[in-house]
């Protein structure tokens, strides 16, 4: 599959494309995407940014061979980041050859996506390494295009959450007798995504970044539902739940729903043993959130 360019030569050529001063930044990116795609025999390559503050996907630059369905020009609204799996490739009748996160250092989801109409199980090690190098080189090029708004928004969100180091709760609420839900989740993107989905149903949403903060929240506030991640720093979801149901006078009977990407066979039974009410797997989509609201909050 790999073109007659070894990874070192291919990466060097990519660096030359990105530093070519005769093209503006967007055209440089298009040329770079073409180079990356041809090196791994992909039919299309594109760069997209998922803006968690708006729950949307924006295609920044793309290259494709002729006679392919064009990528949508408008921003795509998403309910959850894992909908990328549906957006990139599968629902476009294409095989998703490779996806690489290009903004991990900035707490954003940016994706370099390569697609091929021919089914390919995996890239070779050299090809994978080349694509990883390409994502590393493309990131500063994207920053020079001004793709920084989402980063600034996340920095602002981080500073707000850091205002209370011992009790990291962020309540986003309508007025009145709306139900209160606590999201215990250490991943900021997952946390914000679930928060925004819950808001659609008029729920007062509180968040805690780890188990210890979740316990602290339960000592100060009565909740109608707790959504509990299982893998967190300081205290995992199992120990957090056990502590809440045995020590919290206000929330020992509050329904606690495990939300996790762990699909091990014994996970569900472990959740129930420590006192959780239900187990739902990630990705937590809008329809599933609506079911939880109807079951526990109506």
pLDDT in tens, 215-250: 999 999 999 999 999 988 889 999 999 999 998 778
Q: Are residues 108 and 233 in the same domain?
A: no
* Bridge partner list, 45: 63, 114
Q: Which of 117, 147, 177 is the last residue of a domain?
A: 147
User: How far apart are the C-alpha atoms of 298 and 294, rounded to whole Å?
Assistant: 5
Q: What is residue 169's three-state secondary structure?
A: coil
Total number of domains in the chain: 2
Structural domain boundaries enclosing 209: 167-296
Strands (E), the chain: 44-51, 56-64, 76-77, 95-101, 109-116, 180-184, 204-208, 225-228, 256-260, 278-281
User: How far apart are the C-alpha atoms of 230 and 218, rounded to whole Å?
Assistant: 17
Distances in Å between the Cα of 190 and the Cα atoms of 174, 187, 227, 235, 266 are 21, 5, 12, 18, 24
User: How far apart are the C-alpha atoms of 94 and 70, rounded to whole Å?
Assistant: 12
Q: Are residues 196 and 77 in the same domain?
A: no
Greater pLDDT, 176 or 292: 292
Round the CA-based radius of gyration of the chain to a whole number and report it: 22
Q: Are residues 206 and 264 in the same domain?
A: yes
Residue 101 reports pLDDT greater than 80: no
Judge whether 154 lies within some domain.
no
Q: Which of 84, 119, 147 is the last residue of a domain?
A: 147
Judge whether 1 lies within some domain.
no
Q: Are residues 136 and 175 in the same domain?
A: no
Q: Are residues 46 and 178 in the same domain?
A: no
User: How far apart are the C-alpha atoms of 296 and 298, rounded to whole Å?
Assistant: 6
Q: Are residues 206 and 283 in the same domain?
A: yes
pLDDT at 60: 77
Contact 271, 279 (CB under 8 A): yes
Domain CATH for 177: 3.40.50.2300
Judge whether 153 lies within some domain.
no
Judge whether 35 lies within some domain.
yes
Q: Are residues 116 and 210 in the same domain?
A: no
Q: Are residues 92 and 172 in the same domain?
A: no
pLDDT in tens, 73-92: 545 554 444 445 555 544 44
Q: What is residue 10's three-state secondary structure?
A: helix
Contact 150, 198 (CB under 8 A): no
pLDDT in tens, 165-184: 333 334 444 556 889 999 99
Domain CATH for 40: 3.30.450.40
């Amino acid at each position: 599959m790999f073109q007659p360019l070894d990874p070192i030569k291919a990466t060097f050529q990519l660096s030359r494309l990105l530093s070519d001063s005769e093209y503006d930044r967007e055209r440089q990116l298009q040329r770079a995407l073409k180079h990356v795609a041809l090196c791994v025999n992909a039919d299309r390559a594109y760069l997209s940014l998922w803006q968690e503050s708006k729950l949307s996907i924006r295609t920044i630059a793309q290259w494709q061979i002729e006679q392919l369905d064009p990528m949508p020009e408008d921003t795509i609204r998403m309910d959850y980041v894992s909908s990328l799996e549906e957006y990139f490739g599968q629902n476009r009748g294409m095989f998703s050859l490779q996806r690489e996160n290009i903004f991990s250092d900035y707490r954003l989801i940016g994706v370099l996506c390569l697609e091929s109409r021919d089914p390919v199980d995996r890239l070779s090690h050299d090809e994978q390494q080349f694509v990883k190098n390409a994502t590393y080189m493309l990131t500063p090029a994207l920053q020079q295009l001004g793709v920084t708004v989402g980063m600034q928004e996340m920095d602002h969100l981080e500073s707000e959450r850091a205002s209370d180091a011992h009790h990291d709760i962020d309540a986003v609420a309508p007025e009145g007798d709306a139900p209160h839900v606590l999201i215990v989740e250490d991943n900021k993107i997952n946390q914000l995504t679930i928060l925004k989905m819950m808001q659609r149903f008029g729920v007062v949403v509180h968040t805690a970044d780890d188990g210890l903060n979740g316990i602290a929240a339960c000592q100060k506030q009565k909740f109608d539902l707790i959504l509990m991640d299982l893998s967190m720093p300081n205290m995992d979801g199992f120990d957090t739940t056990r502590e809440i149901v045995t020590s919290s006078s206000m929330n020992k009977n509050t329904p606690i729903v495990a939300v996790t990407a762990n699909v091990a066979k014994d996970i569900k039974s472990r959740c129930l043993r420590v006192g959780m009410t239900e187990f739902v797997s990630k990705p937590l989509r809008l329809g599933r959130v609506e079911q939880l609201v109807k079951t526990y909050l109506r």
